[in-house]
Amino acid sequence: MFALRTLAIAATALFAATALEAVTASPAAAAFKSGIWQGDAYFSRQGQFQRCAIVGDYEGETDLGFGLTVDGKYEVYLIDKSWNLEPGQSAQITIRIDNRPEITGPFQVVSRDTLGTLLENHPELVQAFKAGNVATVSGFFGTLSFPLTGTAKAFGALEGCVREVTSGARNDQRAALAREQVAQVRGPDVFNLQPQAFAWRILKDLPDDQFAIPTDVEQAMRRLNAALVWSIRGGIGLVQSVTGAHSEEDLRVELEKLKAPSCKGTLTSEAQLRLLPGGDQVLPHVELACTDVGNGTPAYEVLTFFPHASGNMIAVSHISETLENARAADLIFLNQVGQIAGQR
């Protein structure tokens, strides 16, 4: 038995009706929580990361919050939904933590219900917020007391948020550079690319309205055990690796065995050979059809297997509720591979 390592996937990989849920779900939020403290990452309208902020859910109308900017500056906030402040104005606020000396300084009106100030000139106050017991804050609103239980962990979560977001930004920059390099690959070298890069290289030159990578692609890839996932008209596409090189009939037999437990209706399959457009490479091609995926809906999966320089194979699958859509996507992808592989 040869290893179709990444083709042994759950029913959702065969049945487009379920698989589509994986590529249309909303991406996870950046929110985090620590005790009574809830936080999030904040970005400019241009998408640039600015800060992480965390706010304590205190009894009463006024809450205490902290921020940490992308350049490492700590902030403290006072939030009260009953306030109607004038943005751009400032107010003198006094802070005292336990028996430490009082510190008085200007807080800026961030919004109608929020005051904030930087703590860059008072690193001792940051440590006091982390290690203290009670913060007493005085100003135009009177005097308020905020228990500091759990603030050390809250600051840790805040700092972790900034590390995670900035690390992600660096990873995004590296990924963008890698994509630029992959985009230049042409000719036989396209078959040196790993499955994800191979699929991305082909998809890059295909129309977005027919082949689109979803915003939550990482989640979709995990759900479908695929190297990359994209949407097509009425279905999805995905790429996986296959260990070793095999005939079209061996691939068909193994795939039918893998899919049979997930098909509630009749499962049929056929195998063919395809010639790579513009070249002389012969490619295995397999089609599977299930009359009922469990809810009365049929599903069709069309796969073409491309060679890889390692001696393994790259399986490109297109899945839809109609055979016409699955075949059309497969043919467009195949022709694009041929065009890129034929370039010099």
Provide the token pair at 313: 């194979």
pLDDT tens digit string along 291-343? 998 888 999 999 999 999 889 999 999 999 999 999 999 999 999 999 999 98
Low-confidence ranges of the chain (pLDDT < 70): 1-30, 45-47, 168-178
Nearest to 108 by CA among 135, 75, 143: 75
Please name the residues in contact with 261: beta carbons below 8 A apart, sequence gap of 6 or more: none
pLDDT tens digit string along 3-19? 443 343 323 333 332 33
pLDDT at 16: 31
pTM of the prediction? Answer: 0.56
Domains of the chain: 5-27+186-341 (3.40.1000), 32-160 (2.60.40.1880)
Angle between helices 217-224 and 16-24 (to 10 degrees): 150
Single-letter code of the amino acid located at 118: L
Do the strands 142-147 and 299-307 form a parallel or antiparallel pair, or are they unpaired? unpaired
Residue 339 CB burial class (10 angstroms; 0-12, 13-18, ≥19) = middle
